Amino acid sequence: MPKAAVLKKDPALLESSKFASEPQWLTDLRQRAWSKIDDLEMPIFAKINYHSWPLLNLTADPGINMSIPQTVVNESAAYQFASVGQIVAKAKLSEKLIKQGVILCDLATAIKEHGDLVKQFLFSKAIHFDEDRLTAANAALVNGGAFLYVPDDVEIDEPINLLQFQDSRQTTNFVNHTLIVAGENSRFKVLQRLATVGETENPAHVMVEIVAAAGSYVKFSALDSLAAQTHSYINRRGYLDRDARIDWTVGLFNDGNTVADFDSDLVGVGSHTEMQTVAISTDRQTQGIDTQVTNYGAHSEGNILQRGILLGASALVFNGIGKIIKGAHGSKAQQENRVLMLSPKARGDADPILLIDENDVIAGHAASVGRINQDQLYYLMSRGLTKEVAQRLVARGFLGVVLSDIPMAEVREQMIAMIERKLVNGQRTE
C-alpha cells in the first residue's frame, strides 16, 4: 500500500485560509474538516499511484500578488467572472439578469452577502466535507472560488462564463471552490475555464458543486489547461432533484499530473445526466479520471462518454462507474470509454464498472484501448497527406465529438488549438 500524502497541520495554515470576517458557521465547518483530515483516506483512483504527488504541499500564510496580468484582463473581456488566485478581476452580470435575481460573485462575497443561501448548499448536497482526505482539505482550506445562483423559473440564453486562473507567480495556495445553484425549472449554461499564470510549482485543488432543483436544466462545460508544474486534484459533482438535468462537457488538457473525480447523483425521479469527457496525456504525464453516475431515483438516466489520446510515455486511466441503487426501477445507465494510443511507450486503461442492485433497469457499457485506425490513415495518406498530419486529423476527429457542445466560440477555438499543440508536440517527442 503506497504511503498516503500528509498535510502539515500548521494552525497558521488554517487561519490564513479564512475569508475576512467570515461567519461562525463557516469557521466551524473548516474546523470540523480540519480535525478529520488525518483520519480520512485518500480517494481511490484505480491503477494510478498518485500518493507521492505534492497535492497537500500547502503553505501557511503564502504570498499573494495583488496585481492582475494584462493577459488576464484581455481574456476576461468575454467572461462575466474572472479571478487570479484569490483576487477577483471581474464579476459583472447584465442588468436584466440582476433584476431577475441572478447572483454571480466570488465565494467570499457570497458568504458575506448571501450567507444563508450559501450555507444551505455548501458541502451539504453534492459534496460532503468528510468523504476523503482531499475533500476535507478543500473544506478546511478553501480560499477562493465563485458562486452562481439562478432563481426559480429563470431561463438564460447566453452562457455564464467563468475564467479562473491559478496564480503561480509565487508560492501560494490555490484551493478553489465554485458553487452553482439552479432553482426550480431554471435553464442556463455555464462555462468554466481553468488555467495557470506563472511558473512556480504549486498544487491545485479545484471543486465544483452543482445543485439542480426540480425541473432545472444546467449545461456545464469546462476547459482545463493548468500548467506542467501543477499537480492538480479536480472534483466536479452534481446533485439532481426530480426531473432535473445536468449535461457535462469537460476537456482535460492540463500539462501536469491530474486526478479528477466527476460524479452525478440522480436523486430525484426522472433526473438525467450526460457526462462527456475528453483528455490528452503527453510526455511523462499521468492522468486518472473517475466518472460516476449513481441512480437513486426511479426512471433516472445517466450516460457516460469518455475519450482520451496518449502520446509519449504518458499514462491515462478512465474509470467509468454506473451505480443503480435498489428502488431506482426503470432507470438507465450507459457508458462508453475509449482510449487511442499514439505511442508504444504510453499506458492507457479504460475500465467500465456497472453496480446494479435493481432488476427493472437498462444498463450497458463499451470500452476499447487501441491504435489508430489504419484504414482511415491509409485513406488520408492516399490523398497526399503526410503520416503525421493524417494522424492528427484522425485524432482530432476522435475527440471532436464534444467540441460542438462548448457554448463559447472563442473557447472552442482554444480547445482546438490545444489539441493541435499537444498532438504536434507529442509527435515531435516520439
pLDDT of residue 428: 58
How is residue 393 annotated by DSSP?
A: H
Strand partners, 351: 319
- E-strand ranges in 45-186 read 81-84, 87-91, 103-106, 144-150, 160-167, 174-182
Cα–Cα distance for residue pair 198/413, rounded to 1 Å: 23
Cα–Cα distance for residue pair 175/167, rounded to 1 Å: 11
> Got the DSSP string for 368-385?
EEEE--HHHHHHHHHTT-
pTM of the model as a whole:
0.95
For 5-49, how does the pLDDT look when each residue is reduced to its tens digit (9 = 90+)? 788 888 999 999 999 999 999 999 999 999 999 999 999 998 899
User: What are the boundaries of each domain within the chain?
Assistant: 11-372
Q: Which of 172, 173, 164 is nearest to 194 (CA)?
A: 164
Q: What is the pLDDT along the chain (430 residues), one digit of tens a residue?
A: 455 678 888 899 999 999 999 999 999 999 999 999 999 999 999 889 999 999 999 988 777 888 999 989 999 999 999 999 999 999 999 999 999 999 999 999 999 999 999 999 999 999 999 999 999 999 999 999 999 999 999 999 999 999 999 999 999 999 999 999 999 999 999 999 999 999 999 999 999 999 999 999 999 999 999 999 999 999 999 999 999 999 999 999 999 999 999 999 999 999 999 999 999 999 999 999 999 999 999 999 999 999 999 999 999 999 999 999 999 999 999 999 999 988 889 999 999 999 999 999 999 998 888 787 778 777 778 888 888 888 888 887 888 767 777 777 778 788 888 888 888 876 655 5
The backbone torsions φ and ψ at residue 326, rounded to the nearest 5 degrees and listed phi first, read -50, 130
Cα–Cα distance for residue pair 385/160, rounded to 1 Å: 40
Cα–Cα distance for residue pair 16/323, rounded to 1 Å: 39
Strand partners, 363: 333
